[in-house]
Structure 1
Amino acid sequence: MTRTMLSMLCCALAAGAAHAQTSGTYTVKHLTPEAAVKAVNAALQDCRKRGYQVAVAVVDRSGVAQALVRDRIAGPHTPNTAIDKAWTAVSFRTDTLELAKLTQPGQPSSGIRQLPRFVGVGGGVTIQAGGTIVGGIGVSGAPTGEADDACAKAGIAAIRDDIEL
């Protein structure tokens, strides 16, 4: 009896796994270009109110840039850094302010800092809709990573109602 039940269970699990693998596609949510532009503009305005000249970038869930804006006198390094902060947040599914702590020298994840494009300072924040990462926003040019982070979160707040599922 036990052997029969075990065989039936194995067959049921195998059939379920086979069914799950029959589809060759899957569906994902992406930010619209309009939402990406709205987020970068809101983050830029928030930083301006604080007196910061920055660049802001939004990347999609795959880390590809969707929108980028650089304020008039933000440093020449800020556009690429903003993109890489957003890319880092999406790639590691963690905000860069948290990654900065997790990757300090002596930490188990410290080697991540050696990867190309990794930016281990604040300002890169995941954009989530319904608990799923749909993109990332990166801000570069404020005096601290925490200030960059605050501006990034203002950008997300501006699109929150547009992206909630």
Structure 2
Amino acid sequence: MKKLMMVAAFIAGSVSLTAQADVLAQKNISLAQANALATSAIQACMAKNYQVTVTVVDRAGIIKAVQRTDNAGPHTVKASEMKAYTSLSTKNASGKVMEAAQSNAGAQNMRDVPGFLLLAGGLPLKLGDEVIGAIGIGGAPGGHLDEACAQQAIDSLKL
């Protein structure tokens, strides 16, 4: 019995050491960064009289910040979230994902992925080569204009 207890203790200790070796250290966008990015994007769009919603998600696709101008349509809230999620999931601009789905028969089913919106306006947020979140904007009179506001915000904050 004593031998069995010692073997069990050894195995438990080995599993514990193995689990510690597998812990990941990952970078993520902070709440302060997400709010600053959303504010900057809102300002960029409002300067052009676009009524939009901006959503920033973290590296897991969880919403960190949402800002909506006073006159943005209600559909822009979900659209901005889905554009950010699409961009994060694919680690690419949502407009490029849309183009790939339109031009590549093998990628056309991406439109059926739950939570995806294949329209321009979502951009990944990168720290070096690592994607730490994404921004999505909905409401400008064209996805390319949403994307331009998002890029302007990213550039201004040097993310």
TM range (shorter): 0.7 to 0.9
1:67-120: CA deviations, max 9, x gaps?
000000100011111111101100111110101100116521000101111110
Residue type matched to 2:49 in 1?
A: G
1:36-86: CA deviations, max 9, x gaps?
000000000000111100000100011100000000010001111111110
Structure 1 stretch 104-113 or stretch 94-103: which is displaced more?
Answer: 104-113
1:74 aligns to 2:58 (yes or no): no
Unmatched tracts of structure 1, length 5 or more:
1-19
Tell me the TM-score normalised to structure 1 length. 0.82
Tell me the TM-score normalised to structure 2 length. 0.85
Mapping 1:1-165, distance limit 5 Å: 23-104=21-102, 107-160=105-158, 163=159
Residue type matched to 1:88 in 2?
A: T
Residue type matched to 2:67 in 1?
A: V
3-state SS of 2:148 partner? helix
CA-CA distance at 1:22 after TM superposition: 7.1
Matched residue pairs, number?
142
Distance 2:104 2:64 in 1: 35
Query: Percent identity over the alignment?
Result: 31
Query: Does structure 2 conserve the Cα–Cα contact (< 8 Å) formed by 1:38 and 1:158?
Result: no
Distance 2:69 2:120 in 1: 19
Q: Please provide the CA RMSD for this pair.
A: 1.6
Displaced runs of 4 or more, over 6 A: none
Residue type matched to 2:47 in 1?
A: K
